[in-house]
Chains A and B, each alone.
Chain A
Amino acid sequence: MMFLLGLRLVVRTGKESLARLVLIASAVAIGVSLLLVVLADFRAFQTANSQRCWECTTGPYLISGALKPAANAELWNYSEDYFAGQPIERLEVAALGPHAPVVPGIPRLPGAGRYFASPALVRLLTSVPRDELGARFPGSLAGLVGPAAMSGPGDLVIIIGRPAAELAHLPATERVSAIATTPRVNGTTTLYRYGFGMVAVGLVFPLLTLIGTATRLAAARREERFAAFRLVGATPRQVGVIASVEAFMAAAIGTLAGIAIFQPLQPVVARVAVTGSRYFPSTVAPTSGEYIAVLLGVPIAAMGAAVWSLQRVRISPLGASRKTTPSPPSALRVVPLVLGLVVFTVAPFLLTGHKQAGPLGLANSGPSPLLFPVLLLGELLIMTGLFLSGSWLTMQAARLVARTANGAAGLVAARRLADSPKAAFRAVGGLVLALFVGTAIAGVVPAVNSGLRLTHGGKLNDVLRVSFSPPSLGAGEGLLPQPSAEMLRRVRSYPGTSALPVYLYGPQAGYTACEGFYNCAPSVGIVNCRNIGRSFAFIVRCPPRAAAVQVQFGVFFITSNLLFTPLPLSTSPAPAGAGGSLRSLRMGEVLVMTSNPSTLEKVRTFMAAYTAAAGSSNVPETFGEASRTRAAAYSEIETIALAVVAVTLVVAACSVAVSVGGGLMERKRPFTLLRVTGAQLRVLYRVVLWESVLPLTLTAVVAAAAGLATAASIMRLLGPRVGSVTLPGPVYFLTLGCALAVSLALLLATLPLLKRITVPDEMRFE
């Protein structure tokens, strides 16, 4: 009965009820559509990562020549290649029998001389010269690799059929009888999973605030109506039912509208590469379970918010009154923020330069083990402090504006904000944390990426490093002397190209095991001083009159981060026996320098045969490409952070708009009176804009400043290698600018309401 009465009150009690319904539903619709966008991207990410990782397939290494036919086995040689910095997944296979397992995404294994390629790679193959890419892949196109073998439409994948006898002699060929079915997991999967989790939680909070604010719309006027119900005998429970039905209905309509809004958005979301790679559009969609959860959860949350808000009000038959008068926020709220900033600023000075013994017995000067726990504590303090101090800061700023405002608009808005700073800040609270984290990341990532790009003056970026001696195959391997000499001659014949070979000599040659990534024992190679010339002098230098030097390469050939590798590398005199006979040694690595991108790809294509011949599975790549891969991962994190900032900013603006809209409806009478007494409409508009823009801007500025301060401390820790912290890049400001523009548009959308509800013709003032 009460339910039906509540329903009737929602739809049949005049324009004001209907306006409130529309406003609540609109706010919820925007919130729900944004939530679905996040869920959809998360779903696509999960789908991509739960796909069968066919690349993870392994089997026993083939002992050369031991090739036995088998009905359900094949030879498998998987490697990764690059083109213009983009990774290419390359699989060479040869069926050993009629029932050889088939890689997902293709109808059958390719026969010898045929290959299946992903659509993106086919497009690339047809658009670039053959000697830059196509020559790496023998054979002709048999068909396209389907989505089952890829995580997104941009993936570059090729599956090449080779004669079994030929493949059996290639290094690193395995015998495989089943394709791996485990999900694809890489280093960033867990990071993204946590990241998406945090984003979802980070968005749910402001969305719940938005929904809660929406259901509190015009609460005072609604509570007056509830008092009238109490007067005619309604129990508090019945009043609660009526209130929750109203909230439920509005939220349910809003949720349905949000789902409807999301549908045309879905293809647009699918085109955005949030995590750096695009997903298949069909996977960018929440599951039916998630739809149902949203459809039920949001209205139930709205009901809860409505009932909760009634708990704070005493509704008697004579009217509604607050059970407690909210006390103004105390200055103590700012203490955690100040403490956090102090900790974050001071800790890098106090807890670095700590002397400790390294695992190889070397004395290192590094950060104290206490540094990171202390910084984490500092960050938690800042985040908590930002959240706690927001209302106090809002109140202080509002009081300042009220004391100094020259116009009526600033005065009215500032007094209202100073009166209820907690309510004002609640609407933008979610933004604080997102903007703090986003700004800190946006402050650090471009500087670090720029540091990576400009490591050692950027001179390494065009240097191709080719390794013939992978650690997995043990020390002492490498390219034989004769093909080495032939390879060097051919490489140097490319115009504008120079090469620096590194030869293996003696028992220390090649890589040795590492204890931790940065604590590798020095790997040693011999370099002929005549080969160094001007091109490579910044990497290796020879003492006067030396014919060859022994060079400690360390992680030089395997790391993607050379920020902490000093150049030129340490050298020592070459062993007496090595000096005159370098050409008879095996070649461990070669550095090739060229500034022409086309030549680079030609050299890389040419090198493929030699690395394979040497048994190396390392992909020839430039230092620039390696650091770009690392930088891309950082940039993905930055992109996600900025996306969260943008979404949160828009959600916060929705909350503010709804809150302001509700405030307008509650202050219909005094606002109309202001118009009656001659206040121009634009003055009232300014009141609304002040009330919304002040907390939004203040919050954004404080959170961004705290984020930048944190970024500065992080940069101080990274030292001078990456340069000093600068303002975040244009993407950050563009994101913020666009989100603020959308927010402003949302806020401006409330102004027609103000005009309509304060029309003097419709008001009486007895």
Chain B
Amino acid sequence: MTASLPGTPVPAQSLIEARNVVKSFGQTPALRGASLAMRRGEILAVMGPSGSGKSTLLHCLAGIFTPDRGEIWFDGRRLDALSEPERTKLRRTAFGFVFQFGQLVPELSVADNIALPLLLDHVKRKEAYEQAAAWLGRLELHGLGERRTGELSGGQAQRVALARALVTHPRVLFADEPTGSLDSLTGEMVMDLMVGLAREEETTVVLVTHEARVAACADREILVRDGKVFDPRAAEVGQ
């Protein structure tokens, strides 16, 4: 049984939903009718082999990619029908992002990087840096505010990225292989922090990973294969 829900009305508690999404890159199809729905505060792990389309699904859900066909809904609004400036604003105000690497601005200090989304949202400088300082403490990054990102360890860099993603109190956090470049111990610590903070902030999390132990931190898992979404538990039951 698949998790595809074409034409299904948005459940009352759903915050984000994909309906039969199709996305291709040139002649290569990445998503072939993927559907899913997530409720508020849910942590969803998206698993699947390399090239299955899980990152593309995340990018579609976040409004980075616009699907070729199908619909993306967020909080009762059709995301894929919004203009680029509207989607940009939504990403700035309602979404947060953590990726595997290359996400921090190298010229900026740790505090600058964390304060950046607030500055982009025209928050006063003083207030932005106060909030950044608070997040430094929450993510055990005391004393690293003035460091450059190149001077951080992988785990520290991911925590800075997490702080930067959460500093605006987003409603959805999109995390694409957030522990992919970390050793297992550091990865575990980053996941603990991410999940803990998401629960604390009541943030919905879309977590793309191919590691089962990372996916185990989520409330629910889905599997992406050949551009379609499956519910692995349902598949297991089916077997």
The finding on whether chains A and B are genuine partners in a shared complex, rather than unrelated, reads yes
A interface residues with partner B (beta carbon < 8 Å) = 405-408, 411-412, 415-416, 419, 667, 669-670, 673-680, 683, 760-761, 763-766
Q: Determine the distance from Cα of A406 to Cα of B66 in the docked complex, in whole angstroms.
A: 33
15 pairs of residues in contact across A and B, judged by CB atoms under 8 Å = A408-B119, A411-B116, A412-B108, A415-B105, A415-B107, A415-B108, A415-B112, A675-B88, A677-B95, A677-B96, A678-B117, A683-B120, A765-B103, A765-B176, A766-B55
- A residues within 8 A CB of B177? 766
Contact of B95 among A678, A683, A761 (CB under 8 A): A678
Chain B contacts with A in 3-32, Cβ cutoff 8 A:
none
- A residues within 8 A CB of B217? none
Q: Determine the distance from Cα of A759 to Cα of B168 in the docked complex, in whole angstroms.
A: 23
Q: Determine the distance from Cα of A667 to Cα of B100 in the docked complex, in whole angstroms.
A: 17
Contact (A419, B55) CB under 8 Å given A406-B125, A407-B119, A673-B97: no
> Is the Cβ of B125 less than 8 Å from the Cβ of A679?
no
Q: Determine the distance from Cα of A763 to Cα of B65 in the docked complex, in whole angstroms.
A: 9
Per-position binary interface string of chain B over residues 98-138, scored 1 when its CB falls under 8 Å from any chain A CB and 0 otherwise: 01101111111100100011011110110000000000000
> Is the Cβ of A669 less than 8 Å from the Cβ of B102?
yes
- Residue of A whose beta carbon sits closest to that of B125: A406
- Residue of B whose beta carbon sits closest to that of A680: B88
Contact of B107 among A412, A669, A676 (CB under 8 A): A412
- Residue of A whose beta carbon sits closest to that of B177: A766
B176 to chain A, nearest CB (A): 6
CB of B2 closer than 8 Å to a CB of A: no
CB of B93 closer than 8 Å to a CB of A: yes
Contact of A670 among B88, B106, B119 (CB under 8 A): B106
> Is the Cβ of A670 less than 8 Å from the Cβ of B105?
yes
- Residue of A whose beta carbon sits closest to that of B64: A760
Contact (A678, B89) CB under 8 Å given A408-B120, A411-B112, A411-B116: yes
- A residues within 8 A CB of B92? 677-679
> Is the Cβ of B176 less than 8 Å from the Cβ of A766?
yes
- Residue of A whose beta carbon sits closest to that of B105: A670
Per-position binary interface string of chain B over residues 186-210, scored 1 when its CB falls under 8 Å from any chain A CB and 0 otherwise: 0000000000000000000000000
> Is the Cβ of A411 less than 8 Å from the Cβ of B119?
yes
> Is the Cβ of B120 less than 8 Å from the Cβ of A679?
yes
- Residue of B whose beta carbon sits closest to that of A402: B112
Q: Determine the distance from Cα of A761 to Cα of B62 in the docked complex, in whole angstroms.
A: 11
A414 to chain B, nearest CB (A): 9
Chain B contacts with A in 77-93, Cβ cutoff 8 A:
85, 88-93
- B residues within 8 A CB of A760? 59, 64-65
> Is the Cβ of B107 less than 8 Å from the Cβ of A419?
yes
A693 to chain B, nearest CB (A): 17
Q: Determine the distance from Cα of A85 to Cα of B119 in the docked complex, in whole angstroms.
A: 64
Contact of B93 among A669, A674, A678, A764 (CB under 8 A): A678
> Is the Cβ of A766 less than 8 Å from the Cβ of B99?
yes
The 3 tightest CB contacts between A and B, nearest first, are A678-B92, A678-B91, A765-B99
B203 to chain A, nearest CB (A): 15
> Is the Cβ of A678 less than 8 Å from the Cβ of B88?
yes
B161 to chain A, nearest CB (A): 10
CB of B180 closer than 8 Å to a CB of A: yes
A-B contact count (CB 8 A): 90
- A residues within 8 A CB of B102? 669-670, 673, 765
Contact of A764 among B55, B106, B125, B180 (CB under 8 A): B55
- A residues within 8 A CB of B105? 412, 415, 667, 670, 674
Contact of B97 among A677, A680, A761, A766 (CB under 8 A): A677
> Is the Cβ of A677 less than 8 Å from the Cβ of B91?
yes
- B residues within 8 A CB of A411? 108, 112, 116, 119
Contact of A761 among B66, B109, B121 (CB under 8 A): B66
With A674-B120, A676-B97, A677-B97 given, can you name 13 additional A-B contacts, CB distance below 8 Å?
Answer: A406-B125, A411-B116, A416-B107, A670-B104, A674-B116, A675-B88, A676-B62, A677-B117, A678-B90, A760-B64, A763-B64, A766-B55, A766-B99
- B residues within 8 A CB of A677? 91-92, 95-97, 117, 120
Q: Determine the distance from Cα of A677 to Cα of B105 in the docked complex, in whole angstroms.
A: 12
- B residues within 8 A CB of A673? 97, 99, 102-103
B45 to chain A, nearest CB (A): 15
Q: Determine the distance from Cα of A107 to Cα of B4 in the docked complex, in whole angstroms.
A: 98
- Residue of B whose beta carbon sits closest to that of A675: B88
B91 to chain A, nearest CB (A): 4
- Residue of B whose beta carbon sits closest to that of A418: B107
A413 to chain B, nearest CB (A): 9
A236 to chain B, nearest CB (A): 25
- B residues within 8 A CB of A766? 55, 99-100, 176-177, 180
Q: Determine the distance from Cα of A362 to Cα of B99 in the docked complex, in whole angstroms.
A: 87
- A residues within 8 A CB of B66? 761
- B residues within 8 A CB of A763? 64
B172 to chain A, nearest CB (A): 13
- B residues within 8 A CB of A669? 102
- B residues within 8 A CB of A405? 125
- A residues within 8 A CB of B112? 411, 415
- B residues within 8 A CB of A670? 102-106
Residue from the set A411, A412, A667 with the largest chain B CB neighbour count within 10 Å: A411
- B residues within 8 A CB of A764? 55, 59
- A residues within 8 A CB of B90? 678
> Is the Cβ of A680 less than 8 Å from the Cβ of B85?
yes
Q: Determine the distance from Cα of A675 to Cα of B62 in the docked complex, in whole angstroms.
A: 12
Q: Determine the distance from Cα of A674 to Cα of B91 in the docked complex, in whole angstroms.
A: 10
- Residue of A whose beta carbon sits closest to that of B108: A415
- A residues within 8 A CB of B107? 412, 415-416, 419
A674 to chain B, nearest CB (A): 7
- A residues within 8 A CB of B103? 670, 673, 765
> Is the Cβ of A406 less than 8 Å from the Cβ of B124?
yes
Q: Determine the distance from Cα of A765 to Cα of B109 in the docked complex, in whole angstroms.
A: 22
B67 to chain A, nearest CB (A): 11
B97 to chain A, nearest CB (A): 5
- Residue of A whose beta carbon sits closest to that of B126: A406
- Residue of B whose beta carbon sits closest to that of A765: B99
Contact of B91 among A407, A408, A667, A676 (CB under 8 A): A676
Q: Determine the distance from Cα of A674 to Cα of B164 in the docked complex, in whole angstroms.
A: 11
- A residues within 8 A CB of B176? 765-766
B31 to chain A, nearest CB (A): 14
> Is the Cβ of B116 less than 8 Å from the Cβ of A408?
yes
A404 to chain B, nearest CB (A): 8
Q: Determine the distance from Cα of A19 to Cα of B89 in the docked complex, in whole angstroms.
A: 30
A685 to chain B, nearest CB (A): 13
Q: Determine the distance from Cα of A670 to Cα of B164 in the docked complex, in whole angstroms.
A: 13
Q: Determine the distance from Cα of A408 to Cα of B112 in the docked complex, in whole angstroms.
A: 9
B175 to chain A, nearest CB (A): 10
- Residue of B whose beta carbon sits closest to that of A678: B92
B164 to chain A, nearest CB (A): 8
> Is the Cβ of A678 less than 8 Å from the Cβ of B108?
no
> Is the Cβ of A415 less than 8 Å from the Cβ of B100?
no
Per-position binary interface string of chain B over residues 131-168, scored 1 when its CB falls under 8 Å from any chain A CB and 0 otherwise: 00000000000000000000000000000000000000
- Residue of A whose beta carbon sits closest to that of B62: A676
